[in-house]
Amino acid sequence: MSQPITVLRDTHPLPVLDACKWEKLAGDPHTVNLNAYTSEDGSKIMGTWICTPGKWRVAYEKWEYCHFQEGYCVITPDGHDPIHLRAGDIFVVEPGMKGTWEVLETVRKYFVFA
């Protein structure tokens, strides 16, 4: 059994560059993932995501919790109005959400996929 508690200050995430699987639609966005935690079975991931300006086509297979630390983006779920997100915003994306994610100012967010 793994440790029952993981203290994130004790982790040493390695940067993973441009690991995003989403389709780029506009601009030349680049990403950095700093995964601080991954469950033994790989089903849960927590860390920091940084992305430069650009636009992606997204299709979520998992639930995601996000807390924006920096930046500005617009997420537009298919068939819905755009949602403007800025530093300080906290939100959840449900599995099955499809649409676009446009980074207008470099974004830094904490995330949890489960």
pTM summary value: 0.86
Instruction: Give the integer Cα–Cα distance in Å for 32 and 18.
Output: 6
- For residue 85, give every residue at least 6 positions away whose Cβ sits within 8 Å of its Cβ, in sequence order, or none: 66, 68, 72, 73, 74, 75, 91
Give the type of residue at 28: D
Residues 6+ apart with CB under 8 A from 98: 58, 59, 60, 77, 78
pLDDT, tens digit, 9 for 90 and up, residues 43-89 = 999 999 999 999 999 999 999 999 999 999 999 999 999 999 999 99
Report yes or no: 37 and 73 within 8 Å, Cβ to Cβ. Answer: no
Q: CATH number of the domain at 12-111, please? A: 2.60.120.10
Domain boundaries, the chain: 12-111
